[in-house]
Chain A
Amino acid sequence: MNVFVDNDHVRVTGLERLSAGNSVEFKQLIKLHLTAACRVVEIDCAPIRFLDSDGLGALICIHKWVTPHDGKVRLQQPSELVRQLLERLHLDEIFELAP
């Protein structure tokens, strides 16, 4: 997994799994890159093969960090699996899903 700052975006690529086993570390890693000028988190979801409720909890946590500063969490190219999971839990209402 790679996390890097690109202009005013924090970009995440190569994330294959977001679950109870790595959700805490994932949140900490994102927090390290957030700044006042950098409040949009863009996650490439194409490689994600597994996402559980703890992984979703981490995404919601990041969402709560950035939205007070006009930021957002953008999930790019979510697989059918991820999209179905978000819809099942109505979380597609708070994340921006990008094709």
Chain B
Amino acid sequence: MNSNSTSALHQDFRSSLRIESPCEFTAIRNATLQLRDWLAGKGLPEAELGAWELALVEAGNNAVKYADAGARQLPVGMEISCGEREIEARITDHTPGFNWPREIELPDIESESGRGLFLIKSLTDRVTYLRHASQNVMVLHRARPAAKKESLPDVDRLQARLAEAEAALNDMTAELASSYESLVAMFRYSAELGAHTDVKDFSQRLLRDLMQIAEADSAVLRLLSADGKRLETLLVLPEQGRITLPPVTLTEGLSSVEVGAARNRQDIWFDSAEPLDKDDPLRTVMPVGNGICHAFVVADQLVGTAALGRFAADKPFTAAQVNLLHTFIDFLAIQIVNARLLNERTTTRVTRRELEIAAEIQHSLLPETVPACLPFELAAACQSALQVGGDFYDFIPAGDGAVLLVIADVMGKGVPAALFAAVLRSTIRSMPQLFSQPGELLGAANRTLYSDLSRVDMFATAKVAYLNPRRQEIISASAGHCPLLVWQSGAVQANAPGQSGFPLGIEPAVKYAQTVTPLPPGAAALLYTDGLSETRNAAGEMLGEKMLFQLLAQAAAQTCDAHAGKHFLLGRLADFCDHTPPTDDQTLIFIRHLA
């Protein structure tokens, strides 16, 4: 791929000459000879011409030597102005630049390099080196010796000069017009930014404007995929052909100039002399002519590539048009990155609000008061994890002083889990006739909820227990839930009676067995969710059911009522976790026979 292959020459009416030279030594030498000839036409003596020739070559060669691969695609500007008393030269380079030294000394006499700046300094009266973000300018001044009076130029020569001046003026006018158009476009885009325009629409309008101003026939805009492995097509213009370009992989698409530009982060030119590879996907859009592909980055991160093409092979993009491409696309890159950041912020806000809603739903499911059930006493706790889950418990008065205890865990997190928890709670509460038969109650709840749960691939585990104070027993049934732990006075440790059936929502018709467990005076029982038994400490060790058994036994032996027992358990859990935040909700119901 090549750089712009011809020098652009402009001569203005203020006695100056500007040449844009390709960034290579031979071209710099040729440009310098043109400048020298022009100065000779001004009547400068041979010694002056020699000094300017050498100073210009040294300055131009520096612009070539220190240019990186990307900068070598850009022209070196060489301009000379001839005043009555002074001659000024400006050399524009695209190197990283340097600080002009206060003192310039000659290197060691046997050093093969390092004399360029010394020569420039010694051949001129004043040198200024201006560093900018994208280019640098070396300005050389040297007094003009008193010139001999020029003989009157002939008419032909004057006409030739006039024609050159007109051509230069036309070029300058065109360049100025394109700069004006781009500036107007930028203002318009900036005004649109507050209107939350879709990135693709915005990019499309910007790319169309760019094509028009830069006189391009086709354009392709690709963005780096989220995983950073591919360039995905955002836009292909013009759209008439409905051409679609498949993504190109950065590690594999080596025949693609877009991949080359993206990997090396530099512009790549192509034309009839060095055309696109036959396997380059860009050929579908730009089969003939010439073009340029520009990789755009923001904060050193690749964002994508933009390619502009022209069908005419003999009309390459000018340096001014390439500058337009850079300006438009780099502006677009910033808008794309800003839009992504805004999108991420919005998503984060939505997620946070969703969690707040889920937490509110979950909190509203919990009973505000604990019903009396003497001689039993009840206490409960529900501690939410960072990501709100679907745990809940419920106390429902069931007649004759009995209370139905419900503890459940809906699979999943966030609002969906909280909503299904609400539905499960309502479903159970709507069947008071089955409260004393927990097995039947779970079967009926499963039949009611199965179609809804299975449709969204969700399920819930639940334990329902009918606490009968008159018979001093508890009748329980389980839908895939953790066992009921029971401790009786004098027992060495708690035990876990009963069987467990399928969770709700797995099978359409399930029969749930129910177990009757006596709760004699002094007994304690625990209903809980797996967030409690599966809690982990900082070392990653899980509490486990065996240790939970032991904690229940300790709580029952060392406390006298349900509240104290609950707090004992929660305290031991906190000791075990040692400030490690829970990953799942932790819910429990502590039952204590007070006698």
Chain A residues within 8 Å of B, Cβ to Cβ: 19-21, 50, 52-54, 56-58, 60-61, 63-64, 81, 85, 88-91, 93-94
How far, in whole Å, are A94 and B106 apart by their CA atoms in the complex? 15
Residue of A nearest to B108 (CB): A60
Contact A81 B112 (CB under 8 A): no
Decide if B151 is an interface residue (CB 8 Å cutoff): no
How far, in whole Å, are A32 and B109 apart by their CA atoms in the complex? 25
Give which listed residue, A52, A56, A57, A58, contacts B57 with CB less than 8 A: A52
Decide if B454 is an interface residue (CB 8 Å cutoff): no
* Distance between A26 CB and nearest chain B CB, rounded to angstroms: 13
B1-49, CB < 8 A from A:
25-26, 28-29
Residue of B nearest to A50 (CB): B53
Give which listed residue, A19, A56, A58, A63, contacts B29 with CB less than 8 A: A19
How far, in whole Å, are A91 and B106 apart by their CA atoms in the complex? 11
Contact partners of B64 in chain A: CB under 8 A: 20
Secondary structure of the A side of the interface?
A: helix
Contact A21 B109 (CB under 8 A): no
A–B pairs, 13, beta carbons within 8 Å: A20-B28, A20-B29, A50-B53, A50-B54, A50-B57, A52-B54, A52-B58, A52-B61, A53-B113, A60-B112, A64-B112, A85-B54, A91-B109
How far, in whole Å, are A64 and B25 apart by their CA atoms in the complex? 25
Closest 3 CB pairs of A and B: A57-B112, A53-B115, A21-B25
Chain B residues within 8 Å of A, Cβ to Cβ: 25-26, 28-29, 50, 53-54, 57-58, 61, 64-65, 106, 109-113, 115-116, 118-119, 122
Contact partners of A93 in chain B: CB under 8 A: 109
Residue of B nearest to A17 (CB): B29
Instruction: A52-B57, A54-B61, A58-B112 are known; give 4 further A-B pairs, CB within 8 A.
Output: A19-B57, A20-B65, A21-B25, A91-B109
Contact A53 B116 (CB under 8 A): yes
* Distance between A67 CB and nearest chain B CB, rounded to angstroms: 9
Give which listed residue, A58, A60, A85, A88, contacts B110 with CB less than 8 A: A60
Contact partners of B110 in chain A: CB under 8 A: 60, 63-64, 94
Contact partners of B119 in chain A: CB under 8 A: 52-53, 88-89
Contact B106 A90 (CB under 8 A): yes
* Distance between B277 CB and nearest chain A CB, rounded to angstroms: 31
* Distance between A9 CB and nearest chain B CB, rounded to angstroms: 22
Contact A90 B109 (CB under 8 A): yes
Secondary structure of the B side of the interface?
A: helix
Residue of B nearest to A60 (CB): B112
How far, in whole Å, are A93 and B106 apart by their CA atoms in the complex? 14
Residue of A nearest to B54 (CB): A52
How far, in whole Å, are A50 and B122 apart by their CA atoms in the complex? 17
How far, in whole Å, are A50 and B51 apart by their CA atoms in the complex? 11
Give which listed residue, B53, B61, B118, contacts A89 with CB less than 8 A: B118
Residue of B nearest to A63 (CB): B110
Residue of A nearest to B113 (CB): A57
How far, in whole Å, are A61 and B116 apart by their CA atoms in the complex? 16
Contact partners of A54 in chain B: CB under 8 A: 61, 113
Q: Given contacts A91-B109, A94-B109, A94-B110, are A21 and B26 in contact (CB under 8 A)?
A: yes
Residue of B nearest to A52 (CB): B57
Contact partners of A89 in chain B: CB under 8 A: 106, 115, 118-119
How far, in whole Å, are A94 and B110 apart by their CA atoms in the complex? 8
Contact B29 A21 (CB under 8 A): yes
How far, in whole Å, are A53 and B25 apart by their CA atoms in the complex? 13
Contact partners of B26 in chain A: CB under 8 A: 21
Q: Given contacts A20-B25, A50-B53, are A56 and B109 in contact (CB under 8 A)?
A: no
* Distance between A46 CB and nearest chain B CB, rounded to angstroms: 16
Contact partners of B122 in chain A: CB under 8 A: 88
* Distance between B176 CB and nearest chain A CB, rounded to angstroms: 35
* Distance between A53 CB and nearest chain B CB, rounded to angstroms: 4
* Distance between A60 CB and nearest chain B CB, rounded to angstroms: 5
* Distance between B37 CB and nearest chain A CB, rounded to angstroms: 14
Contact partners of A20 in chain B: CB under 8 A: 25, 28-29, 57, 61, 64-65
How far, in whole Å, are A90 and B109 apart by their CA atoms in the complex? 8
From A21, A53, A61, A89, residue with most partner B Cβ within 10 Å:
A53
Contact partners of B111 in chain A: CB under 8 A: 60
Contact partners of A56 in chain B: CB under 8 A: 115
How far, in whole Å, are A94 and B109 apart by their CA atoms in the complex? 8
How far, in whole Å, are A54 and B112 apart by their CA atoms in the complex? 8
Contact partners of A94 in chain B: CB under 8 A: 109-110
Contact partners of B65 in chain A: CB under 8 A: 20
How far, in whole Å, are A64 and B108 apart by their CA atoms in the complex? 13
Contact partners of B118 in chain A: CB under 8 A: 89
